[in-house]
Amino acid sequence: MPVEQAYSFLLSVLFYMGIYTIVVISLNMEAGYMGLPNFGKMMGVAAGAFTTSFFTWRLALYLHNRLTGEPIVYSDYVRENAMIVSRINEWLSASPGISLFLLLVTLIASLAIGAVIGYIASYPAIRLREDYLGITLLAVAEVIRVIGYNYKPIAGGTLGMQVPDLFRWAGQHRFSVSVLIIVAIALIVYLVYQRMLSTPFGRVLRAIRDDEEAVSSLGRDIVAYRKRVISAGTATAALAGALYALYTGSVIATAYDRVTWTFWPWVMMMLGGAGNNVGVLLGVGVFVIARTTIYTYKNMLEAYVPFNVVWLDYLLLSVTIIAILMLRPQGILPEKPIRTVKPLIRQNEST
Amino acid sequence: MLRVENLNAGYGKLQVLHEVSLFFPERKISVVIGPNGSGKSTLLKTIFGLTKIYSGRIIFENNDITSLPPHKIASMGIAYLPQTNNIFENLTVEENLRMAGYNLSKEELEARVASSLEFFPQLKLYMKRKAKQLSGGERQMLAIAMSLIRKPRLMMFDEPTAALAPKIAHQVLRSIVKLRDELGITIILVEQNARAALEIADKASLLVGGRVIFDGLPKDLLENPELGRMYLGVTSGQV
Amino acid sequence: MIPPIVEDTIVYSSVLVLLSLGLTLTYMTTKVPNFAHATISIVGSYVTLTVLVLSLISLAREALISQADSQSFYRLIKSFSFAPLHYALFMALGFLLGSLIGVAQYKLVLKPLSQRGANVVQLMIATIAVDMFLLSMLNIYADKLLEYVVSKANELSSIAGFKVNLGVQTRDFILYSYDYSKTLGTQRLVIIAPIMAAALLLALSLVLYRTKLGVALRASIENPSLASTLGVNVDKMYTLAWTLSLGLAGLAGSLIPLKYLVNPSTGQLFVLSIFAASILGGLNSLAGAVIGGVLIACFEIPVFNYLSSHLGISSAYRTVIPLLAMALTLLFIPRGVAGLNWKKLFSRVRR
């Protein structure tokens, strides 16, 4: 494979790994650690994307108009969206400082909105049992998407909207730089979660998953934990949604569907091993690399497959998931039991 | 009729019964009592083939039934009546009785349902009613009636009077006596309600921690002050 | 003349009742809501399309054998309308194919996974995987069917000497025109759908409440361990339940394209309406499934229509209705309408 192709393959893999690591780490905390079947994971991602499409260009426009003194004029921001955004991009390509500022603000706003939506969505989580909870969260996520699809101001409705390119200042290295930033953020998220979940907090979550009654009889407020976990998880996913939107340059509600942003994260989590952050990385890695490979070699595969290669994706995916469930439901890296006492006992036994 | 020899059994790796040897004579009511967790229910489940047997034998009328699966044991004339979950709540009384005779021919089923209802005439009033609408005592009677349709020769009851008011519990126990007297059925009765059970017992065994502590006549158990105090809540002189 | 909104409601509620009956029945056996239910019904839709394609091709051949010219040929093709035989054929085949796929899903996926101790969430994911698998298959079939149609059309064109176009497409298809009856002044579906729904409902009730098999099925669903000690082959009963349920789905699906636009992914659009109907009715009650189906249909069409015209809500928000119904039911009356204590309600109302 020629170097250019290899490099773009690498960038694509790193991009998706970065984005999905953020999403799946948060799902792992909810479902893997706490046992909350979040089938509405997509709502966090959509929240981040919609925050970006709603908010970023407005802020950028405001700053542009204030700082350049040449205000951009428009009448219908949805129809003239492309014009507005391209003017903003021109301006931003010369202003890395403002771009990064906008990036920071967008990410913080996404975290905030994600947390709020997660908090509201956690209300059903309070009392429902597993399958009912999963379905309710699924329904809430779908409602959010329908609203995002139909209520124009959010994401341009059925047409979608472009978002300002906050990486344009990097010129020809735009893609490399953006992927770098995304991977860095994913790494930060991973480390934060790893830290957070190795504290007693993480142990409480697992305890709740294994025996709710026991934990609550010890005085812990289960409901409060659930609210916290879902808010944090949704906020984190929103981060991924915002980054995804900013990288791709546009938002259309149909891109934030339950297969891509709820189901696939579940598959990645199960593949790598739930309840286990290293497993998450593994699952995300295997999934992303496999899919990117299939996509890259699509044309070659056409020869071997008696039908349109486009469908191969879902076909292989569905069969793989069932295979995992049948043969190794605990995933590649099963959860390790919590070590609180050093294994001196084993040493003593062998003597 | 049923003999258990040096039985060691449990659930997976958890052993519950230790070297249990007991004999349950024909046409008699044998009562097994003991504190919670003593293995009484496990004993019945083990006889019925629902647990893991590590060693020992179970002999029913000269047949070794130790390693048989539950439905085979059932077909040999042994009935197991667990405490709960022994009827179909959403089916009517009539449908429950019919289900009990699922494998029987139509005529045979009709005949057996009729004779079962002779034994529990109260149920005739409730034929079209859903089982979940019956009271606790009526449900137990339905469960027993369903069991009778299989024409068992040995019936094993696991705490049939739990969660029943004393008066109703008494009625259920009286029906059990009737089963022995009128139908000649051998009964193994596991009970928490030790006093009431011992009153109708022909033979009594006391199980503690999965071991047989006492096996003999009910009155000997009741009159033994130490055992009485420890396990029956009886203080000396109160028998 | 029946107003269109009434026709709409009649057809939609008939279809939804058949679908939610099936979903509830499978839920009662495996305790898992089957995400693949809707896509299996779309298989039935493709059965109808296939019957249409084959009929049109044989009609076209006959026309060409009798040396028709291009004008009369097209008049003939355009005047094609489904005859009773066609309805019987695609409904029966839809039922058959649906039940086969349903049994396969039960025996090859859900039963083995249950035996391996999979939990509810894992089983739900398994049904999502089956859904994706069927989606791929439907997509492949749509492609292949189109190839077939095109090749036959070319064949016929060379015989005819003019361009033959059968006027069918395998994606985004709707078969309204073949169902229209001049004598009725409307679609035959408006009569057929409710009659089939009522008849099948009656048949199902008779089987469940008047036959030994039916009682055994209800017993197995309620208490499989007790049923098996009484000598019932519970697995056979479950297989029967899945046969009936997904047979109904396939049959309902065979009627769908007569009124609605169909694509392989159409199932994804209404699967949540089916869930809402079952949940609203109470996942453990078949009578509830019927009530739920009718209620959801009424909420989605006449009620929503009223709200949208009076409150100015865009009709695109119709999809929110079942989602809201689902979430609200799970939160406030989790056992559904069938689980409500009617006696208590009536006595309260009487006072």
pLDDT by residue (tens digit) across C294-327?
Answer: 999 999 999 998 888 888 888 888 889 999 898 8
Characterise C168 by phi-psi region: left (phi > 0), alpha (psi -120 to 50), beta (else). Answer: beta
Q: What is the pLDDT of residue C339?
A: 80
pLDDT at A33 over 50: yes
Pairing of strands B2-11, B14-24: antiparallel
Q: What mean pLDDT is predicted for residues C79-96? A: 94
Q: Which of A79-83, A320-324, C43-47, C187-191 has the lowest mean pLDDT?
A: A79-83
pLDDT at A127 over 80: no
Tell me which chain B residues have a C-beta less than 8 angstroms from the C-beta of C223: 85, 88-89
pLDDT at B236 over 50: no
C-alpha radius of gyration, chain B, whole number: 18
Supply angle C-alpha B166, B172, B173, rounded to 5: 85
Higher pLDDT, C269 or A72: C269
Cα-Cα-Cα-Cα dihedral of B105, B111, B113, B117, to 10°?
Answer: 180
pLDDT at A337 over 80: no
Q: What is the pLDDT of residue C350?
A: 67
Cβ–Cβ below 8 Å for C330 and A150: no
Q: What mean pLDDT is predicted for residues C278-291? A: 92
Q: What is the pLDDT of residue C70?
A: 79
Cα-Cα-Cα-Cα dihedral of C128, C131, C137, C139, to 10°?
Answer: -100
CB B215 within 8 A of CB B22: yes
Cβ–Cβ below 8 Å for C326 and A139: yes
A137-150 confidence digits (pLDDT tens) = 898 899 999 888 88
Comparing alpha-carbon positions, the chain C residue that sits nearest to A265 is C125
C106-148 confidence digits (pLDDT tens) = 999 999 999 888 888 899 999 999 999 999 999 999 999 999 9
pLDDT at C41 over 90: yes
Q: What is the pLDDT of residue B164?
A: 85
Q: At what angle do helices B106-119 and B166-183 cross, to 10 degrees?
A: 120
Residues of A in CB contact (< 8 Å) with C are: 31, 37, 39, 124, 127-128, 130-132, 134-136, 138-140, 142-143, 146-147, 149-150, 259, 263, 266-267, 270, 307-308, 310-315, 317-319, 321-322, 325-326, 329
Tell me which chain C residues have a C-beta less than 8 angstroms from the C-beta of A329: 116, 118, 122
DSSP assignment letter at A52: I
Cβ–Cβ below 8 Å for C334 and A128: yes
Q: What mean pLDDT is predicted for residues C171-190? A: 91
CB B221 within 8 A of CB B239: no
Residue matched to tokens 């022994």:
B86
pLDDT at B234 over 50: no
C-alpha distances out from residue A66 to A69, A71, A72, Å: 6, 8, 11
Q: What is the pLDDT of residue A319?
A: 93
Beta strands in B25-146 (DSSP E): 29-33, 52-60, 63-64, 78-81
pLDDT at A285 over 90: yes
pLDDT at A126 over 90: no
Pairing of strands B14-24, A161-162: unpaired
| Residue partners of A342: CB distance under 8 A and separation at least 6 | none
Closest CA to A185 of A248, A236, A228: A236
| Residue partners of B43: CB distance under 8 A and separation at least 6 | B4, B7, B17, B20, B22, B32, B190, B207
Q: What is the pLDDT of residue A343?
A: 53
Distance from CA of C185 to the nearest CA of A (A): 35
A149-205 confidence digits (pLDDT tens) = 888 888 877 888 888 888 888 888 888 999 999 999 999 999 999 888 888 888 888
How far is residue A218's CA from residue A200's CA, in Å, rounded to a whole number? 14
Cα atoms in the 13 Å half-sphere on the side-chain side of C269: 13
Q: What is the pLDDT of residue A172?
A: 84
Rounded to two decimals, the ipTM of the complex is 0.86
Percent of chain C, pLDDT > 90? 65
Higher pLDDT, A322 or A310: A322
pLDDT at C168 over 60: yes
pLDDT at B233 over 60: no
How far is residue C343's CA from residue A287's CA, in Å, rounded to a whole number? 54
* Beta bridge partners of residue C64, listed in sequence order: none
* Band of pLDDT at residue B197, cut at 50, 70 and 90: confident
Cα atoms in the 13 Å half-sphere on the side-chain side of B233: 8
Tell me which chain B residues have a C-beta less than 8 angstroms from the C-beta of C216: 99, 102
A262-281 confidence digits (pLDDT tens) = 999 999 998 888 878 898 99
Tell me which chain B residues have a C-beta less than 8 angstroms from the C-beta of C227: 88, 99
Cα-Cα-Cα-Cα dihedral of C73, C76, C82, C88, to 10°?
Answer: -60
C-alpha distances out from residue A119 to A116, A212, A216, A304, Å: 5, 21, 21, 49
Q: What mean pLDDT is predicted for residues A237-262? A: 92
Q: What is the pLDDT of residue B238?
A: 40
How far is residue C346's CA from residue C342's CA, in Å, rounded to a whole number? 6
C-alpha distances out from residue A196 to A29, A119, A190, A202, Å: 10, 19, 10, 7
Q: What is the pLDDT of residue A349?
A: 45
B111-129 confidence digits (pLDDT tens) = 999 988 888 888 898 899 9
Q: Which two tokens mark A201?
A: 């907090």
pLDDT at B199 over 80: yes
Nearest by CB to residue C215, choosing from B86, B87, B98, is B98
Beta strands in C170-272 (DSSP E): 180-181, 186-187
Mean per-residue pLDDT over chain C, rounded: 91
* Band of pLDDT at residue A13, cut at 50, 70 and 90: very high
pLDDT at A213 over 50: yes
* Band of pLDDT at residue B154, cut at 50, 70 and 90: very high
Pairing of strands A250-251, A161-162: antiparallel
Burial group, residue C28, by CB count within 10 angstroms (0-12, 13-18, 19+)? buried
Distance from CA of C262 to the nearest CA of A (A): 18
Give the distance, in angstroms, between the CA of residue B25 and the centroid of all CA atoms in the same chain. Answer: 14
Q: What is the pLDDT of residue A340?
A: 60
Q: What mean pLDDT is predicted for residues C175-190? A: 90
CB B179 within 8 A of CB B155: yes
Q: What is the pLDDT of residue A169?
A: 86
| pTM for the predicted model, two decimal places | 0.86
How far is residue B88's CA from residue C223's CA, in Å, rounded to a whole number? 7
* Band of pLDDT at residue A341, cut at 50, 70 and 90: low
